Amino acid sequence: MAYKVLNYHDEPYGDHQIGFCTVDMSGKCTIILKVLKSRQGNIYCAFNSVRIGSSWLPDFSFSDKDFERTFLSDCLEQIKPM
Write the pLDDT tens digit of every residue in 24-54. 999 999 999 999 999 999 999 999 999 999 9
The model's pTM: 0.87
pLDDT tier for residue 82 given thresholds of 50, 70 and 90? confident
pLDDT at 81: 87
pLDDT at 18: 96
pLDDT at 49: 94
Q: Which of 25, 16, 79 is nearest to 49 (CA)?
A: 16
Rounded CA gap, 25 and 6, in Å?
Answer: 10
